[in-house]
Amino acid sequence: MVLGVAAVISTSVIGIAVAFLIIRYEFPYRKLFSYLTMLPMILPPLVGVLGFVFILGRAGTVNILLMDWFGMEEPVNFMYGMHGILLVETVHLFPLMTLSILDALSKVDPSLEEAAQGVGATGWHRFWTITLPLTTPGYVSGALLVFIWTFADFITPLVLGCRTCSPRRPISTSCSSSTGGSSAWHRDSALLVVLAILFVLAARQYVAIKDYSSLAYSRVERRRLGPVKRWLAVGLLMLLMIVCIIPQVGVVLAAVGAAGRFTPFPVQYTLEFFRTVSIETPKFIVNSFLYAGLALILCLVVGVPMAWIMARTRAPGRNTMDALTTLILAIPGTASASPTSGPSIFRCL
């Protein structure tokens, strides 16, 4: 619960700020940043966590540089613990919040903000009392996705060491205990689903009483920032992109490094790993494209009609369908695929 709420708060701060800058202001490289903010969604969760560990882990690049340059005897714990899990979840999930807020902000009628400005509302007051409440449906949707995704994530806590800190271990990893067995697996999976149902129902009820609608809205015109604010916005987005690119850099260094386990950067570089995968075992690549393509086709076949039913019709049960599509995210893939052998799978991980 603590991790889920903290992830919602952190992604909200970043997502709202990024979305507001991109949709309302004109500054250098705005379009480029709008694409780069989706960068963390490229890597799967496990690969992203390992990328962070390669750079910020105990034997990662940053710690080795600190010990070499400043003579530190013990590495700094950047990653292992709740703060590291929150960092990874925030970087991985803030694009979901950004996309939700972008869609909601683009539909806000600018005449309402102009009316508030006409009666003397300042910028921050207008944002908190007019703009942000108008984005409530989109924001709650993004917050719900972030919370459920964090709540059910088991890869990140397992890799970052919460397996050894049982009093602070998230529920999604409790079934990895060797003493729990399949009964603990079923119990915790059921609890995940029940809690997720309660979260979805509460969020839907809140959106129902906060759903602001307007008959029409016009395109929001972007405003130009002053010289100082313009480059301040660029600097903040650049800093965010540097943090987001850490896992990609870590994965690339691990993929091309042939040696240098306790050096900040590989002392030798090779493409042997790529050759092994592409030449000796090409079926892995073929299978990945095959399964991804089949999954895409199935999602389109099932998802497009469901979306049309929920958005364009008044068919009975469409609200239940909407809730169930969100609840699917609450169950980890390993749990839904193999509920009886879950503990052994986690031990293998």
Distance CA 139, CA 244 (A): 22
- Per the CB < 8 A criterion, the answer to whether 258 and 268 are in contact is yes
What pLDDT is attached to residue 329?
Answer: 64
The domain at 2-270+314-348 falls in which architecture? Orthogonal Bundle (1.10)
Residue 66 half-sphere exposure toward CB, CA atoms < 13 A: 16
* Tally of CB atoms within 10 A around 303: 11
195's CB contacts (< 8 A; 6+ apart) are 151, 330
pLDDT of residue 8: 93
Contact 126, 114 (CB under 8 A): no
pLDDT at 13: 93
Please answer whether residues 43 and 59 qualify as being in contact, where contact means their C-beta atoms are separated by less than 8 angstroms. no
Please report the pLDDT score of residue 345 as a whole number. 44
> CA-CA distances (angstroms) from residue 319 to 187, 204, 277, 306?
27, 9, 45, 11
* Whether this model's pTM surpasses 0.85: no
Label residues 77-106 b or e (16+ Cβ within 10 Å = b).
Answer: ebbbebebbbbbbbbbbbbbbbbbbbbbbe
For residue 241, what are the CA distances in angstroms to 229, 234, 305, 331?
18, 10, 36, 30
pLDDT of residue 299: 92
Residues of the chain with pLDDT under 70: 161-189, 192-193, 196, 204-220, 259-261, 326-327, 329-349
In the numeric block, the tokens 């049309």 are attached to 308
CA distance 290 to 295: 9
pLDDT at site 298: 96
pLDDT at 348: 45
